[in-house]
A and B are shown apart, each in its own frame.
Chain A
Amino acid sequence: MSRMLSVAVGLLVLVCGSACAPRAGTTGVQESGLSADALDLLTTSGDYPARKRVLDMAEEKLVERCMTARGQVYWPITSPPITTSDEERAVDLPRRRAEGFGLTGGARPPKAGPNDTQPAFQTALFGDTRHYQDLKLPNGNVLSYPASGCVAESRAALYTDVRRWARVDAIPQVVGNKLRAQTTDAPELAEARSRWVSCMAAAGYPYPKPEAAVDDLSNAYQQHGESAALRRREVAVATADGECALRAHVPSAELALRRARAYALPAAQQRELNDLGAVHCVAYEEAQRVVGETATAHPCLKK
């Protein structure tokens, strides 16, 4: 089984490269019990990012409306359109060119409103903390989340009830981490990382592995403190790291492995993920109506 997966993944990486991270319905293993929507949700790839953007925008719009009704001013966050491939998004070259690895500066979220430090604002947003709900996750952890307040009401409006939102948000993440742990030693990924090493050496950055590049910069900040020269070096190394990751197809190799291995998940887990994929799609369609983006083409496949 493992050898078959390796061959399949190798072919996917070879054929697709960066322009074609394996998409739902193109892997040739659709006879498995995992739907395309579930696979995208599990691996946060394919149609998932664009759908999530619409859901995020809808949640923000509903929260703003709800907060206004409760006498609070809420400033919603806007999400830029998804215009790049899975691999380009994973690397995010524009961000690297602007801020390197993000090791300095410590960015923070924008203010949520003019009175966002007031207890009344917090209560309107998250409701009564005695009304939290618990969700037991597949790994044994328990996620607790607000069941009242504007955030919970907005999630419930999109997903029918807030518990369905919590399942869609949390369970694929936990299973996704399990898949990620299974791919770290795969030969396909080792080959891609080896190509990255060669590419970086040719660019003048002889690091033995991708993690070493960011660790080197982090250590330099620890030893010498922040300076303009070190900041320029961080941007240069982070940009070269990203460009070499794209040339070596490291993100595509890793994603192809996770997508391929998802089909080997236990049948019960695949059924649960299929259910969550369907719930996510129904919520996405509701979110399209909320934000008025019904023309965008990320239809649910409804396998």
Chain B
Amino acid sequence: MKKVLQRSAAAAAGVVLALVGLAAPASAGDRYAGCPASYFCVWVNSDFNDGPGKWQNNEANYANYGHGTCPSGTWSNCVSSVFNNGQNCAVTFYDGTNYTGAFYYQLPRGSYLANLALDKWSDGTSPNDKISSHKWC
């Protein structure tokens, strides 16, 4: 049941996101042109490759949003580059679901981290392939 719900949510989200993506103009910039203004966007690989997953709202659990090339079939723990194309808020992303976890980072508006895998600290704080939720402002 849980899987069915997740698949349904992911499919519905995909349709909604696709429609909204068509409605809103893309920001300038070739590399992340698929990220519309006012969205937080994520990609599977570094340098905005394979994606984006995109949200205008807070999202407590990336497992609710499917993406075929991710190991789990969802965006959960599957993000290596991020872009905050929001216009008036920073977005905080977390390594835990439900806005929890020891790691979080507040990404300012208009900013991006193109390769989370560059994190070389060996203390378990690297966010690469660990992001599971985000919250605006």
Interface residues of A (CB under 8 A from B): 60, 75-77, 101-103, 105-110, 112-113, 116-119, 121-123, 125-126, 128-129, 139-146, 149, 151-152, 169, 173-174, 177-178, 180-182, 184, 211, 214-215, 218, 222-223, 225
Contacts and interface: CB of A to CB of B under 8 A. Distances in A.
B27 A129 contact: yes
A224 to B, nearest CB: 9
B86 interface: yes
Contact of B123 (A123, A151, A169, A181): A181
Main SS class of interface, A: mixed
A108 B91 CA distance: 10
Given A102-B60, A177-B102, A142 B114 contact: yes
Contacts of A125: 87, 110
Nearest to A60: B88
Contact of B88 (A109, A118, A182, A225): A109
Contacts of B23: 117
B7 interface: no
Rank and list the top 7 A-B pairs by shortest CB-CB distance, nearest first.
Answer: A106-B57, A129-B29, A112-B87, A140-B120, A109-B89, A145-B111, A108-B57
A119 B28 contact: yes
A126 B98 contact: no
Contacts of B112: 143-144
B6 to A, nearest CB: 7
B58 A101 contact: no
B70 interface: no
Nearest to A144: B112
A139 B123 CA distance: 10
Given A140-B119, A141-B118, A181-B123, A107 B98 contact: no
Given A109-B136, A222-B6, A101 B98 contact: yes
Interface in B87-105: 87-89, 96-100, 102-105
Given A112-B87, A181-B102, A145 B110 contact: yes
26 contacts: A77-B88, A77-B89, A101-B99, A102-B58, A109-B38, A109-B87, A109-B88, A119-B25, A121-B37, A123-B28, A125-B87, A126-B27, A139-B125, A140-B118, A141-B115, A142-B113, A145-B111, A173-B105, A177-B102, A177-B103, A211-B100, A214-B100, A215-B97, A218-B97, A222-B5, A223-B1
Interface residues of B, number: 52
A122 B28 contact: yes
Contacts, number: 140
A77 B89 CA distance: 9
Nearest to A222: B2
A116 B102 contact: no
B58 A106 contact: yes
Contact of A103 (B28, B98, B103): B98
Contact of A102 (B89, B116, B124, B135): B135
A120 to B, nearest CB: 10
A36 B106 CA distance: 22
Contact of A116 (B29, B38, B137): B38
Nearest to A145: B111
B59 interface: yes
Nearest to B88: A112
